[in-house]
Amino acid sequence: MGKGLHLFEHNWNPITGCTKYSAGCKNCYALDRVIPQLTTEKYKNGALVTCHNDLLDVPRRMKKPKSIIVNNMGDLFHDDVPLSFLKELFKTMNECPRHTFYPLTKRTPRMLELSPHLNWSSNIVMGVTVEDAEYKFRIDDLRKVPVKRRFIMFEPLIGSIGKIDLVGFELVLVGGESGIGFRKMDIDWAREIRDQVVAAGVKFNFMQYAAVDPCKLGRELDGKIWNELPNDDHQLELF
């Protein structure tokens, strides 16, 4: 998962650890830069996929409605995450309608396999990561899931995407790769996505350029900060 997901109010990580899965994972922000520096008990297993039962109730203790990104330190549809744990995780989301939850995955085959066993309540906005045109099938996979709300994360954007079918999606986010060894993002790839998203009437958010430190480059795309987010009952904030 990407650094850009810090645009949400809260990160909830009841699952820690992951393994690299596709081209977008090459310079993983979580695995390569964040997790190796964490020394807390929660991350004692490092990159080994670990489920934390004691963290399942965290959203229940949040009384104020929040936008919550789910598992930005891994992928909840990783093969090593048991269905039984996923059911408990989804139960928490189902029973906290005051919050809006944003799970994100690259592993759409397993998402499709397990989808019938999960309760996709209306406060879940499911997303997929698509790094270049080779992985556009994930968008169609997500459309097969009976979730009411969907989004796409094009980060890290490492290639042209081409034509996108945006039917059934409410939000698109675009961002380049960050850190030492980052892969370049042609700004025309971002424009190609933005133009389709705007034409479709879908919310568009440009998060960052590709750079060692994208913060130094700002977030303007063609002279505008694209900071559109869904209109939920509570305010989504950048921080």
The answer as to whether 199 is a domain residue is yes
The answer as to whether 84 is a domain residue is yes
Q: Which region, left, alpha or beta, applies to residue 32 given φ > 0 means left and ψ of -120 to 50 means alpha?
A: alpha
The answer as to whether 184 is a domain residue is yes
Q: How far apart are CA 170 and CA 182, in angstroms?
A: 29
Q: Is residue 239's pLDDT more than 60?
A: no
The answer as to whether 170 is a domain residue is yes
Q: How far apart are CA 202 and CA 196, in angstroms?
A: 9
The pLDDT of 167-183, averaged and rounded, is 96
The answer as to whether 235 is a domain residue is no
Q: Is residue 37's pLDDT more than 50?
A: yes
Q: What value, to the nearest 5°, has the Cα angle with vertex 11 and ends 5 and 48?
A: 95
What local confidence, expressed as pLDDT, does residue 235 receive? 42
What local confidence, expressed as pLDDT, does residue 232 receive? 60
Q: How many CB atoms lie within 10 A of CB 200?
A: 14
What 3-state DSSP class applies to 63?
coil
The residues pairing with 105 across neighbouring beta strands, listed in sequence order, are: 128
**pLDDT one-digit tens code per residue, 82-101:** 999 999 999 999 999 999 99
Q: How far apart are CA 12 and CA 71, in angstroms?
A: 6
What residues make up the domain containing 93? 3-225
The answer as to whether 230 is a domain residue is no
The answer as to whether 147 is a domain residue is yes
Q: Considering its fold, how many domains does the chain have in total? A: 1
C-alpha separations of 63 from 12, 59, 151, 236 in Å: 15, 8, 25, 16
Would you place residue 54 in the very low, low, confident or very high pLDDT band (cuts 50, 70, 90)? very high
Q: Which of 3, 233, 237, 227 is nearest to 100 (CA)?
A: 233
CA atoms within 13 Å, Cβ hemisphere of 103: 25
Q: What value, to the nearest 5°, has the Cα angle with vertex 203 and ends 202 and 209?
A: 120
C-alpha separations of 19 from 12, 49, 119, 137, 235 in Å: 19, 8, 26, 21, 33
The answer as to whether 239 is a domain residue is no
What 3-state DSSP class applies to 204?
strand
**pLDDT one-digit tens code per residue, 130-157:** 999 999 999 999 999 999 999 999 999 9
- The residue ranges of DSSP E strands in 71-226, in sequence order, are 100-105, 125-129, 149-154, 171-175, 203-208, 220-221, 224-225
Q: How far apart are CA 156 and CA 3, in angstroms?
A: 10
pTM: 0.92
